[in-house]
Structure formats: structure tokens, C-alpha cells
Chains A and B, each alone.
Chain A
Amino acid sequence: MKNAYPLFLIYDYANPAVGEEEVADESSVLDLQGEKHYRITYFFSDQEDLSWNDLKLQYQSVFMKESDDHLGIGPFQNISDLHRFGLSLGEKIGSPQVYFHSVFDYNQMVEQVFDIAGFKKSLLAGHMIETNKNKGTNSSFFGRIFKDS
């Protein structure tokens, strides 16, 4: 797949025992037991045909096992695994960069923006990894692609 657009991945913590998410300052409904892990709850790329199934297949390819998180793609034991996955997916679909946002950060970000330009700018402020596809590319190329509205 060829693509000139960044890939955005939104991730969260999850407790597989109860299928619940833990938010930074929230009081839990039940005592959380079991191992927590990361999962991807949402992705976005301007590439139209990227699907959840593509992410599942990529997860299997990277970790040699099936994604079994019923609320997203995962589990990822740590943030490095998550980044590793994001990078491999970004390279596979030809995205120049992969941006990571936690659900918590994303929600905080959305609360602060009021228009499309602000939203786009904030999306680009997430943790970013450049893929091999982009190394050596003039950064102004990216700037032209993802221009403000």
C-alpha cells in the first residue's frame, strides 16, 4: 500500500479481567485484578481502505499471535510494543509518520480545541515516530500534505 498521509493511533489501558478501561483519576467500579495492558482503541489515516482487519493481521505478523482484545487491537504489554506495532503498520501502509495519543491525552486535547485547524494542529503534537518511508524526505512535503483548512 502506498500512502502519503500520517497514521494516527489512539491507545488506552485495559484490564482484561473486567474489560474496563482505567482513566488516570477515576475511581474504579470494581477492584481491578489481572494484568493491565495497552490497546489501540481507534486509528485514522487518510488512506481510505485501512481497516480493523488490516490492523489485526499486522498485529499477528508482528507478535506471532492473534489480537484478542475485543474492544480494540491488543494486548500490548508496554508502550515500546505499542510503538513497535505502530511503526511496522506505518511502514506497511507507507505512512511517513505515526502519531500516538492516549485516550486521556486525546480527550484533554479535544477539550481545548474549537475548530478544525486547531484539531489538526493538536493531532500533530502527539508522540511521533518517523517511518523508514519518510527518512530523508523533505519535511516541507509533509507540511504541504497536511495543510491547515
Chain B
Amino acid sequence: MGQLSSTDRKCDPSLPGENWFFYWKTSYSLWENKISSYDRNVPLFVPINWGFHLNEEGGFDFGEKRPETDLKKIYFLAKEMGKEVCFLVPLGPCPFLVNGGIAPALASSLACASNGLVYSVIDSDGSILKLYSFFDTKLYKVFRSFVWSLGQYLSSNGVDADIIGMESGYLESGEYQDYFSDSSRSFMKGFSKFLGLKIDEKRKQFGDVAITPDVENQYKNQYKKMIKDLYHNSAKECLNSSWVGVLKFAFLGARPYDIFLRSSERKEDVGRYFKEVTESITLGVSPTSVLLDGKIKNGVLNKAFEHLLSKSFFYQNLNGELFDDFTPTTFFPLWLFELFRNETGLKEGLCWKNNGLANFLSCSYHGTYILKDLQELDIDECIGHKKIYFFHGLGMSRKSFEKVLRIFLNGERVVFDTDSLDPSLIKRLNAFIIENDIDTQEVKLISSLVLCKLGEGSLVYFDGNELSNSASGKKDAFWNKLLNYADLSHLKIEHDKDINFLWLRRSPSNIELTYEEVRRVSFFNPSSYKRKAKVVGSKNFAFLKISEKENASVKSTPIGVDLELLPGGSVSLDFGHFE
């Protein structure tokens, strides 16, 4: 069979983008051709269209009746060709599947965003797909039955592929919104009963109970998590032998009102998609362009995906569960900062927006930080990576607080905004400083900074309450000064509007041992104009090489590297970093 040309492949609905394969969108007889045309060094992601496998009798078809449902065939074809396959099991509504993946007979309640608008998306061929709610109890029973059947089918057929749970969502104002969290009738019905039970419990304990909107929101989050965990745990239990974890995917062009934008006469803003790609890195989610029109994603956006979406990228987002066959020179996303947030019913990372850190890092250290959940804080993962760890007092438990102190004691750099920290923990902090005889120094910026040093470790803490009420310029100045104390080495980028760039890092090779690491910055110009950028030189960095240059020119000068990118241009620059 002939190979598909790269143009054909890029417009092929069964290969909609990056490393995805939509097996149900093509004939079974063409699978071999499609899989052989996939040439990236990243496992082929095969999302399972579980509604597609439901047969008329209410059971599941895995090739017994329709060859297009024969998942093992995909695995063995790929294996014969030396390619890896990962099956993605949806754990909620999927925007690229009809009804979000639910069989028509089960699709009862439309899933809605918080403003009441139904979740609806435009896919790459202009069809409008609606998502249905996963809060229907009937649906959960069928899902449970499906994942059990899938597990049996895969293990009895010797299919050894990794299985990843797939969460689907979109990015909105720098936050990840999960389609699972909806405000549908099914949700409200179930939540109503849940809330009723909670109120009864409270009444038995405390007598009369007032449910404020804040309390109700907390209960809503509890209920959503409870149902979501049901789906997660069912899939994990039934697919245990091959289960490697959960990946969150952010679908570009799939916000609730993108249906208006993408159906209007307005030119689609590719620059906006780049912004979402960078935000994805920050939030530890995997961006995907599978819903976008071929014309949009086949240009410079596709290049950005090729740079970013490597095995190592998915590895980091799966917390190291997958793809451990890296060479020492594999590139990983460059995360200089980890910002921890506590889920207290507030929007993700709001504390870091309020005190200006998120904005400062977005501007000055673009794409080099990640937001993580405090509940997932693992001390072992914080050792030896030379990052700066940021913590906030809002909602911090004693257990997490002790972990923060341990990270400092282990020689890491910690910045702690103690705004809203429990007073008992503030006392504990002061006692800790005294007990360990730690050198401290006080510096007055907008807030009083206390700088603590113990061996290699440094801890800077301050009360950010005053900072949150300051103008953004003052916040930026504060963070700039604070990070000066951290002795951080990074390259400054000056760039025209529309220029986008991504940072990656890798270990030095055998011939690069003078360097601590190698950092790569990849530039993209999605606009229709020529644009310029400059990497400002720094004494801790040596310019090593240019790669993947397309429609771009690069000039090394005594003060840095100047770039000019034509429309659609891109280029990558490697820098060796030494102390």
C-alpha cells in the first residue's frame, strides 16, 4: 500500500493532529496505511470511542461484528511496524466525539458551562458536536461495564499497550476547565440529593444549618470530585495491568463560545492558540489541536507542537509514569519555578494572581513555571532540581506546612507568602527558625521579607496581604527584587508583538560537560508580518547552535542573538548554561 503524503496526512480526519489516531473515522482496511504513515517519535495516542463500541444488545463490540471496533488490530499493526500505541480511555465528555462519546440512547442531559450555555464545539470539518453530562447514574453503570469488558478483551488478546485516562477540557483566562464539571440537569438532580444528605447530617450534629453560597459551592466541588473519582477509579481498577495514569488535555478552539468565533467571519487568531499552548505548559496539561481546521494547525502552530509534544512532555505530565526510555540528551519542558496552590473552592492559582506573581512570571519568565496542587506535593520530587518552590498560606494544612519546611531543610529554595496562613503555623514557623538557629535577614520591600539561609537551602517568607492591594507595577518590582536574591540564571528575551517562544532543557552530552544543562528556546511567528526578537546575552550562557530554522535569520552579536522571522517563520537556539 502506498504511503500517504504529508499533505494528505495533515488533512486526514483519522490523523487529526499531533500523535492522535481516530480509528473510527476511517475504514478498517486503511488502518495499516494510516499507521504506517505516522512517523513521529511519540507513541500513537488512540482515544477509545466507547459509544462506538456499544452494540444493539447492550454489550460491547471489539471486532466480533464490526471490524472497525477491533482495537487489538491497531495494537498489533503498530507493533509489527515498530511503533508504540497508547490507548486513551475518556473519563468524561470528549469534544471530538459525537455526544461527547456517549451512545445516543444514553445521551440524556446536555452538559453546560457555569453560565448555562451548553458545551458545544466545532470540529475540524465544521461539524458541531454537543457534549452530554456524565452525571447520569445510568451512564456510569454502562461506563463501568465498558471498562471492565475492555480490560478483559485487552488482557485476553495479549494487548500490552499502555492505557491512559483522558480528561478533556479547555483553557479560559489561564485556567483549565474540565468538561466533566458541568451544570446540567443531571448534575443538579444528583447534587440536590447529595446536598440534602449533607444538610441532614449537619442538622443532626449542629441543629439548624444555614447554607451560604460559599458553602454550597464547596459541596458542589465535593460532589463533582466524588462522581469524577468514581469514573477514575472504575477505569483504573478494570484496566489495572496497563494503567499508567491520567493526562489532562486542553483542546484548542473548544471553549464554549469558540463556536461563535469559529463560525463567524473573523479571522481565526493563531496567536491566541499559542497563548493557550504556553498556558498548558504552565498548568501541566497537554494541548491538542485536533479540533482545529487543517489550515490553522498545519502552519507554524504545528511546528510548535512538534517541538513541545515529545515523550518527555507527556512523561512530565504523567509524573514520570510513562516512557522511561530517555537518553541523557532528551529535551524536557524548562520549569524554573513551581507554584503550589490549594484547592479551597477558589479558582486555580488565584492567590498567585492576586499577589502578582503569575503575571510577573508570565512576562519575565515566560513559559517557565508550572502550577501544582499542594495535595500532590512530594518532597522527593523537590530535591536536586534547582527550582524555586512557591507556597501560599491560604488553606495550608499542618501536614503540608511541615513538608515546606522539609524542602527548605533539604537545601532547596523556597518562597513562602504567609498571607492567610493559620496563626498557629506562623508561630510554628517562628519557633522553627529559632530552634534550628537559622540565619535571618530582614529586608523591607512592600512587605517585610525575611531571608533565611541554612546550608544550601534558602527560605524567603513574607505576608503578601499588603502586596495584593498594591498596583501591578509595584508587584512586578517586588517580585523582580525578590528573585534577585534567588540568584537565578535565565536569558532575557525581547520580542515584537505576535512572537511566541517555548523553553526546553536537557542534560549536557559527553562533549558538553562544561555546562550544567543546555536550554533551547524555540521562536514562532504566526502573524502575517515580519517580526523581530532578541536573546539578550548573559555571562552564564554560551550560544551553542541554531536548529530547525525556517523563514528566519539569526545573527549573533556581542550583546546577544538577534532574530528576524518572516510570516510563519520559526527557529530554535541552544544555549549552554554554566554556573
Interface residues in chain A, defined as those with a beta carbon under 8 Å from any beta carbon in chain B: 5, 8, 10, 12, 18-19, 21, 23, 26-30, 41-42, 44, 46, 48, 71-72, 103, 106-107, 110-111, 113-116, 118-120, 145-146, 149
Contacts and interface: CB of A to CB of B under 8 A. Distances in A.
A41 B117 contact: yes
Nearest to B257: A42
B185 A26 contact: yes
B128 A113 contact: yes
Contact of A44 (B118, B189, B257): B257
B195 interface: yes
27 contacts: A5-B265, A18-B213, A18-B216, A26-B185, A26-B188, A28-B192, A30-B211, A44-B257, A71-B115, A72-B115, A103-B115, A103-B116, A106-B117, A106-B118, A107-B110, A107-B112, A107-B116, A110-B120, A110-B128, A110-B130, A113-B128, A115-B126, A116-B126, A119-B263, A120-B263, A149-B126, A149-B263
A119 B128 contact: yes
Nearest to A147: B265
Most chain A C-beta atoms within 10 Å of own C-beta, residue among B115, B122, B211, B266 = B115
Given A42-B115, A46-B266, A149-B126, A119 B259 contact: yes
Contacts of A106: 117-118
A21 B116 contact: yes
Nearest to B213: A19
Given A42-B257, A119-B128, 12 more contacts: A10-B117, A27-B188, A29-B188, A30-B211, A44-B264, A71-B114, A72-B115, A107-B110, A107-B116, A115-B127, A115-B128, A116-B128
Nearest to B267: A48
Most chain A C-beta atoms within 10 Å of own C-beta, residue among B122, B128, B191 = B128
A144 to B, nearest CB: 11
Contacts of B112: 107
Contacts of A21: 116
A118 B128 contact: yes
Contacts of B122: 116
Contacts of A8: 260
Given A27-B189, A116-B263, A119-B259, A41 B128 contact: no
Contacts of B216: 18, 29-30
B192 A27 contact: yes
A103 B257 CA distance: 13
Contacts of A29: 188, 191-192, 195, 216
Give the top 5 A-B pairs by smallest Cβ distance, nearest first: A103-B116, A44-B260, A41-B115, A107-B118, A116-B263
A26 B191 CA distance: 13
Interface in B162-219: 185, 188-189, 191-192, 195, 211, 213, 216
A19 B263 CA distance: 31
A149 B128 CA distance: 13
B266 A48 contact: yes
Interface in B255-275: 257, 259-266
Given A29-B195, A114-B128, A115-B126, A46 B118 contact: no
Contacts of A110: 118, 120, 128, 130, 259
Contacts of A30: 211, 216
What class of interface size applies to chain B in its complex with A?
20 to 34
A41 B118 CA distance: 12
Main secondary structure of the interface of B (DSSP, over half): mixed
Nearest to A13: B116
A72 B114 CA distance: 11
B257 A111 contact: no
A23 B266 contact: no
Nearest to A107: B118
B267 to A, nearest CB: 9
Contacts of B192: 27-29
B461 to A, nearest CB: 33
A91 B547 CA distance: 53
Interface in B103-120: 110, 112, 114-118, 120
Nearest to B211: A30
Contacts of B110: 107, 111
Contacts of B117: 10, 41-42, 103, 106-107
B130 to A, nearest CB: 6
A24 B299 CA distance: 45
Nearest to B195: A29
A19 B188 CA distance: 14
A68 to B, nearest CB: 15
Most chain A C-beta atoms within 10 Å of own C-beta, residue among B195, B259, B262 = B259
Nearest to A118: B128
A12 to B, nearest CB: 5
A8 B263 CA distance: 13
Contacts of B128: 110, 113-116, 118-119
Given A18-B213, A23-B116, A115-B127, A46 B263 contact: no
A46 to B, nearest CB: 5
Interface in B220-279: 257, 259-266
Contacts of B189: 27
B261 to A, nearest CB: 8
A107 B189 CA distance: 18
Contacts of B261: 44
Contacts of B114: 71
A106 B256 CA distance: 12
Contacts of A41: 115-117
Interface string B126-138: 1110100000000
Contacts of A27: 188-189, 192
A109 to B, nearest CB: 9
A18 B261 CA distance: 31
Contacts of B120: 110
B455 to A, nearest CB: 48
A10 B113 CA distance: 14
A11 to B, nearest CB: 10
